[in-house]
Amino acid sequence: FGIADIDVDELELEQQAFKKKEEVKSRDFNAEIMNAISKEQVLQIAKEAKQYGQGHAILDAYKAKMNQLEEKTNEPS
C-alpha cells in the first residue's frame, strides 16, 4: 500500500550495499595478489579491487607480483 516512509526493497538494497562495502574493507587485496599463483589470478583480483575503488591501493603489489611471475616464466628449465 505504500504507507511506510521507507520502501522495504530500497532498505534491503541499502543493507546489501553496506554489507558488500564491509566485505571489501575486510579483504586484503594486496595479500591476495601476493598469494596468487598465476597472472590470470592476479588480473582477476585486480579487477575486483578496481570495482571497489581499490585499484590504486593495490598497484605496487600488482606490479611486484606480475614481475615475479614474469621472471619465473623466463627462468631456464
- In tens digits, the chain (77 residues) has pLDDT values of 556 666 767 878 888 777 777 777 778 999 999 999 999 999 999 999 998 888 899 999 999 999 999 998 888 76
Q: What is the SS3 assignment for 23-76? A: HHHHCCHHHHHHHCCCHHHHHHHHHHHHHCCCCHHHHHHHHHHHHHHHHHHHCC
List, in order, residues 6 or more apart from 30 with CB less than 8 Å away.
57, 58, 60, 61
Structural domain boundaries of the chain? 28-77
